[in-house]
Chains A and B, each alone.
Chain A
Amino acid sequence: MRQGFDSNEVSPHSYELLAYPVAPGILLEPAKRRLDLFKRLKIILRRSGSGLQNTFVYVGSHLGPLPLTLLRVLAILASVLMLPVALLGMALFAVWRTLMRQLALLRDRLNTSGWWRGPSQALMARIVDAAFDLEAQRLGKRIQRNSEIASIFVPFSFIGKPLNVIRKPKVIVFPDAVHGVFPTRYYGHVNDQVTGRIRDSIDIADEIICYSKHVAVSQLLHFFGEQAADKPIQVIPQGFFHELAVPDCDDDRKLRFVNRFPEWCSYLPSYELREVPYIVYPSVDRPHKNFMTLLRAVELLIRRHHVNIKLVTTSHAVNPDCANFIVRNRLFMDILYAPELNQADLAFLIRNARLVVHASLAEGGDIFNFSRGVVSDVPVLMSDIPVVREMFERWNIPESTFASWLFPATDSEALALAIKKALVDRSALLEQQREAYKQLSKYDYKAMAAAYYDVVSNARLHR
């Protein structure tokens, strides 16, 4: 214990005393227990300064006159230059910040016109596009020179201006312009360049084929009326997949599911699909595919209605909204992802499902999943969208028949109830759909191909 302790002088050692005020013979007031930080700092600086000085003296005392002089000169130079160096550093920092800000703006700008790409990827995409254009033109010139080629059939509408070199009848397929129907959903996904190419393709086309009347009227003529209004437009629906009628066999295979949420789910069982009840939505999760409504419906089914059901999708990607929903509602063991399936695995997946649900908000033409489901003896529910209605009305199937197969596209509660009902009335639903399938299957891919051939072979130059 220190003797003669003066409580007005605070030394670093006094910290111990202040921290442990209760000591024999000494009773310190609570106020004195507070550390005097400023005074301590002063003491530390003073001691550091003297320490630095002592160090300098110590070093100096071991150096000869020349190194010591050099040291002094360097010290003077350093102190003189310190201010400009500091100012230079500040200036560089300001420049760096400005540069970063500008790069961010540039990145944002490129991102809005790219496909969610960073600056370098957008640049690469432009290079690839340019190379594609050159190659398409080169090919086009070859086609033009070949007298045996009477007309050109292009099964999509993304080529654009490079087709101009071909002075032969060009039949272009316009699948859809869904990014125009849902522009904010596709914000950043489809750039101006792609839309420009579609416009150019339509402008260059001599005849246009659409998969459905709805798309021809509400998308082709609506968005590209200036280019398409005076062109011959043919509606050729998709034909039926008879080849999908896979024979029923005792298929003992196990599909592997991708664990998309490893930070939440350590282990995803390899479910025996022949035993586990599930709904399947064979589709890629694109912005208009309406996965969210289906996820909400499944959540309601499991959590509110306590239905034992899972959802399996073949999407290779999960969009952030859906991912957040799945995590927030802890559905990672009931929403399964089985991407990149071969045909046999896909057939197996559909065949063992309780229901196929097609929830898309828009399609270019007939719903493949309807035929896929029905030929696999699995009933199908579809969103109530114009192309779906057109698919059935084309064959004079009355609304009273197919209305129960449809659900309001964005109403998850209605979808949940529709699924619940369909799971109970599965056989009856399938029976009804088989009747409709008989009608639709009269128009198969051969008929479709014949229609295409007819259009292409009779195509004439529009101008």
Chain B
Amino acid sequence: MSDNMADTLYDGASRLDDINADFRATPKFAMKQRPEPTRTATKVAVLLPADYGGGTLRGAINLAIQIADGAKATGDQLVVEFGYVDGKNSAPHGAFAELRERGIPYRTMIVTSLPQMHLSLVDKSRTPEHFEAEPSILVFNDGVSNFDDADYRIIVSDRLIGGVASPTSPFAIVAYDFIQRYVPEIFDSGDPALTWRTCTAMMRSYQYADCVIVTSSQAASDANAYAGVPRARLVQVPMSFDPLELADTVSAPITDKRLENGYIVWTTNATPHKNHRTVLKGLTTFYSKNPGAPPSVITGVFTEHFARAIPGDPVSEVPYVKEIRDLIANNFSLRRKLIVKGNLSDSDYSSLLKSATALLHGAIFDNGTFSVVEAAWHGVPAISSRYRAMEELSEAFELTPTYFDATDADSLADMLELALRNLTSLKNALPTREQLRQHSRDAKGPAVWALLRPRVLSGPPMTDLGPSDSMSCSRSGRQRLDRQKDSSYFLPTSSRD
């Protein structure tokens, strides 16, 4: 070997040593640390994993918009994507226009369940602790990335059937309510035992969620006491609503002659917790005492099945829906005074609402309905059943609906009479649009982002924090526990009730 060659080789070898030394020093090869992300923008996926239409779809879209707008206002580099299931409850036309305007990509997905053992390579540092013990995981199959590249996922629903969400990134679950705790009949369809087993199994996801997002203190206390979510992992975001301003410019005049002299809008859907039996009984009493009173217009998802059975549609065959349909059909007062409009688009609903005499809301229990807020927006007073979430919503939006006892049909009849006699004063008591705008989605966006920001932008997970005696806390969640003592991270919930 010539000296030159030897020198070259020696230089090469020493160069190789330098390169190896660099490799060993590079953090990405350190076993316990994850390298800093190479991209600067954090990706958040907002996912609606079930075929929801109506308010839930609208809520999910609004949340995505609030996060995007909030991040933009704070200068955070954030990319928001939206995934949804396209099914029978297909999104109304124009539902995604606002996402499009903000450059938020949205795509359909199919939610499937896979055995976890088939995941060959997963970044364990980003998976919740003890996650590997779960037999199956959910996959949000969009045919593109399955949202695997999201840094954070926000799943707008706890109806996670068949597995536990997301082994590849921290995730939050939005839980609007736990109606089944108060109205168990909503789960008593088909094989009740199977339904309940499935629904209780869905709650396993809570123990792996980085946080659970709620919009009311009722939902917060139920998430804590019923679903077992520790308070430290609850994030209560402010209620907000989406003014149907568009409908003001797109005029769709009411052509139904039956509605010419005023009407009451009853916004509902076809689920038992909407309390149709009591409301219909109350309406019967009301109309028998007041035959000249304005008719009632039913609108909402699946309410068209109350008018007639739709061949081939299984919703028409649900026993509860049949019962309500028969109740209406066999009641002369109701046949005369009840008009079923079914599910309307936003603009049609807005047109209907703005000319209404009053709005009726009769649920036994839910997370509060924004229909009363929308009614107030159009200067329409509301008659509502009284329950905690509704009181909370009314207080948040400075509304004073006329309350009735949800279990007492006579109370509804009396309050309807009272409300119709005092329409003027009730209208005068409604907040103005300017007051309501302070609670709009856009106005509350920054507050929502401020609450979610510490969760979403926590950065890559730190090194192993050591053993935990709590199965319910993810690694990334535990590192935030200390920070949760700072009450600015969530709105103050009521003290233990």
What's the least CB distance linking B161 to chain A, in Å?
Answer: 12
Measured in the bound complex, the distance between the Cα atoms of B193 and A151 in whole Å is 60
Report, nearest first, the 4 A-B pairs whose CB atoms are least far apart: A269-B228, A330-B184, A266-B201, A276-B225
Report A's interface with B, CB cutoff 8 A.
254, 263-272, 275-277, 302-304, 306-310, 329-330, 333-334, 354, 423
Given contacts A269-B203, A269-B206, A277-B497, whether A303 and B196 have CB atoms under 8 Å apart is: no
Q: Which residues of A contact B130 (CB under 8 A)?
A: none
Contact A329 B184 (CB under 8 A): yes
Contact B471 A270 (CB under 8 A): yes
Residue B207 CB within 8 A of the other chain: yes
Q: Which residues of B contact A272 (CB under 8 A)?
A: 224, 228, 230-231
Residue B302 CB within 8 A of the other chain: no
Given contacts A263-B197, A269-B203, whether A303 and B225 have CB atoms under 8 Å apart is: no
**Residue A330 contacts which of B187, B203, B496 (CB distance < 8 angstroms)?**
B187
Given contacts A265-B200, A266-B201, A304-B407, whether A275 and B224 have CB atoms under 8 Å apart is: yes
Residue B365 CB within 8 A of the other chain: yes
Contact B181 A270 (CB under 8 A): no
User: Main secondary structure on chain B at its contact with chain A?
Assistant: helix
Contact A333 B197 (CB under 8 A): no
Given contacts A277-B496, A330-B187, whether A266 and B222 have CB atoms under 8 Å apart is: no
Contact A303 B180 (CB under 8 A): no
Measured in the bound complex, the distance between the Cα atoms of B207 and A306 in whole Å is 25
Q: How many A-B residue pairs have CB under 8 A?
A: 77
- Taken residue by residue from 190 to 202, chain B's Cβ proximity to chain A (1 for < 8 Å, 0 otherwise) reads as 0001001110110
Closest B residue to A327 using CB positions: B193
Measured in the bound complex, the distance between the Cα atoms of B180 and A302 in whole Å is 11
Contact B228 A270 (CB under 8 A): yes
Closest A residue to B222 using CB positions: A308
Residue B472 CB within 8 A of the other chain: yes
Contact B193 A263 (CB under 8 A): yes
Contact B225 A302 (CB under 8 A): no
**Residue A265 contacts which of B197, B221, B469, B472 (CB distance < 8 angstroms)?**
B197
Q: Which residues of B contact A306 (CB under 8 A)?
A: 182, 365, 387-388
Measured in the bound complex, the distance between the Cα atoms of B203 and A418 in whole Å is 32
Measured in the bound complex, the distance between the Cα atoms of B471 and A266 in whole Å is 17
Contact A275 B407 (CB under 8 A): no
Query: How many B residues touch the partner, as a band?
Result: 35 or more
Q: In the complex, which residues 428-473 of chain B have their Cβ closer than 8 Å to any Cβ of chain A? A: 469-472
Q: Which residues of B contact A330 (CB under 8 A)?
A: 180, 184, 187-188, 196
Given contacts A263-B193, A267-B200, A269-B228, whether A303 and B182 have CB atoms under 8 Å apart is: yes
Measured in the bound complex, the distance between the Cα atoms of B407 and A353 in whole Å is 30
24 contacts between A and B (CB under 8 A): A264-B200, A265-B200, A266-B197, A267-B200, A269-B203, A269-B207, A269-B228, A270-B471, A271-B228, A272-B230, A275-B225, A275-B230, A276-B224, A276-B225, A277-B496, A303-B184, A306-B182, A307-B497, A308-B222, A308-B225, A308-B497, A329-B184, A333-B200, A334-B226
Known: A275-B225, A308-B497, A330-B184. 16 other contacts (CB 8 A): A263-B193, A264-B200, A265-B197, A267-B201, A267-B203, A269-B206, A269-B228, A272-B224, A275-B231, A277-B225, A302-B182, A303-B182, A308-B222, A310-B225, A333-B200, A334-B181
Q: In the complex, which residues 166-200 of chain B have their Cβ closer than 8 Å to any Cβ of chain A? A: 180-184, 187-188, 193, 196-198, 200
**Residue B196 contacts which of A264, A354, A423 (CB distance < 8 angstroms)?**
A264
Residue B111 CB within 8 A of the other chain: no
Measured in the bound complex, the distance between the Cα atoms of B187 and A296 in whole Å is 21
Measured in the bound complex, the distance between the Cα atoms of B197 and A307 in whole Å is 24
What's the least CB distance linking B409 to chain A, in Å?
Answer: 15
Residue B227 CB within 8 A of the other chain: yes
Q: Which residues of B contact A271 (CB under 8 A)?
A: 225, 228
Measured in the bound complex, the distance between the Cα atoms of B225 and A302 in whole Å is 12
Residue B204 CB within 8 A of the other chain: yes
